[in-house]
Amino acid sequence: MIPAFYTPRPQWPTAIERIVELLGRVTAFEEASGRQVALRRANQIASVHSSAAIEGNPLTLGQVEDIANGEPVHAAPRAVREIENALAAYEALGTFDPWSVEDFLRAHSLLTAGLVAESGAFRTVDVDIVNADGDVLHTGSRAEKVPRLVAELLEWGSTSTDHPLVVSSAVHFLIEHIHPFRDGNGRVGRLWQTLILSRWRDLFDGSPFENLIRRHQVGYYAALQASREPVIDAAPFIDFMLDVITESLVSYEERAKSTAIGGITGGRRGGIKDRLLDTLRDDPTLAAPALAEALGVSVRTVERRIAALKAAGRLRRQGSKKSGQWVVVEEHQ
C-alpha cells in the first residue's frame, strides 16, 4: 500500500462543514426550481468546456453546447474530437467504479480516443512535466511502476475513512503526481475527483467546480507544485480544492436560487426574458455565458432572448462589445 501522503490540517473540518451546508441549500433550490436536470446539464457542459480549455482547447462554451446538442461546429477536427470525447466520458460517469483500475483505463480511453497513441493504456515511457520555458517541474513515476502505483492508490481510496472531499482531492493530486498516461492526465484527474464526489453526493454529477479550477488555473498548478516540494504532502492541494469547491457551490447556489425564484413567481416576472432583464438591472455588464449560468439556461437561449428584447426595444447596448454594458429600457418609457 502507498504510505500516508498528506498531513491533515486543523481547518479542514470547518471547510467540510461549510461545503455540506452549501450542498443542502443548493439541493433545496434545485428542487424548488423544477429544473434540476437542466441546471446540472448546464454545469456538466460548462465543466467539459473548462476542463478542455485548461488543456488548451480553443472552443467556446457556445460551441461546446452545440456539440452537446448534436449541432455542427466549424472548428479544428481535433478540438471538436476532444470535446466529443469529454462529453462521452462525463455521460458515462455513472457507469464507472471509482476504485476500479479497469474503469480508470476505460475513462482514459473515452477521453483520448483518436487523439493519443496509448489511449486507454498506461504509458510505456518515462515522462517529464515541463513549463512554458522548458524547465522540468516534475518527473512522473517510472513507467514500469505506474500500474502498481495506480492500483495501490485506488485501493487506498476505497478503504480510506477520511472524508470524501479530502480523499477525492488527494486522489486527484496523486494521479497528477504519478502521471500515469502519456497525455490526458489532467482531464482524468479532474474527472476522477468528480466521480468520487458524485458517489458521495449526486449533485456532483453536474459539478461546477472545474469552471473555478480554470478561473484559478495558476493557483491550481501552484498547489500541485507546492504539494511536491520539498516533500510529497498533498495538503496544499487539498486546501486549494476545498476552497474551489466552496466557491463553486456559492456561485451555483446563486444560480439555482435565481432559477427557483423565477419558477416560483410565475406570471409576468417568471419568464426567461423577464428574469434576464432583472438580472441585467442588477449587473448590466454580464455577457451571455454569465447570464446563462445565472439563469440556468444555454448560451444560445440567452442570445436568442437578447436579440428578441433588442428588437422589441426593451434592451440596448451602450459602449463596445468588450467593455460596454446593457441598458434596460423600461416599458413606461
Decide if pLDDT at 264 tops 70: no
pLDDT at residue 1 is higher than 50: no
pLDDT in tens, 71-97: 889 999 999 999 999 999 999 999 999
Give the mean model confidence (pLDDT) for residues 201-208. 83
For the cut 70, the answer to whether the pLDDT of residue 289 exceeds it is: yes
Q: What is the mean pLDDT of residues 16-27?
A: 95
Point out the least confidently predicted range of 40-54, 158-172, 262-276, 297-311: 262-276
How far apart CA 313 and CA 39 sit, in angstroms, is 29
Residue 285's pLDDT is 83
Residue type, 274: D
Q: Tell me, what DSSP letter sits at residue 141?
A: P
* Main-chain dihedrals φ then ψ at residue 325, nearest 5 degrees: -150, 165
CATH class, range 267-328: mainly alpha
DSSP 241-283: HHHHHHHHHHHHHHHHHHHHHHHHH-HHHHSHHHHHHHHHHH-
pLDDT confidence of 265, banded at 50, 70, 90? very low
Query: What's residue 40's pLDDT?
Result: 84
CA count, 13 A, side-chain hemisphere, 113: 14
* Residue 22: partners with Cβ closer than 8 Å, 6 or more residues away: 246, 249, 250, 253
pLDDT at site 270: 52
pLDDT for the residue numbered 92: 95
Per-residue pLDDT averaged across 48-58, rounded? 92
Domain boundaries, the chain: 12-256, 267-328
Helix, strand, coil content of the chain in percent (nearest 5): 65, 5, 30
Report the chain's mean pLDDT, rounded to a whole number.
Answer: 88
pLDDT of residue 269: 45
Same fold, 12-256 and 267-328: no
Given a contact cutoff of 8 angstroms between Cβ atoms, the answer to whether 301 and 272 are in contact is yes
CA dist 94 and 88 (Å) reads 11
CA dist., res. 60 & res. 74, Å (int): 12
pLDDT at 262 over 60: no
- Would you call 207 helix, strand, or coil by DSSP? coil
Tell me how far CA of residue 102 lies from CA of 109, 178, 285, in angstroms. Answer: 11, 17, 47
Q: Which residue has the cell 446540472?
A: 40
Give the percent of the chain with pLDDT over 90.
56
Q: Please provide the CATH number assigned to the domain covering 12-256.
A: 1.10.3290.10
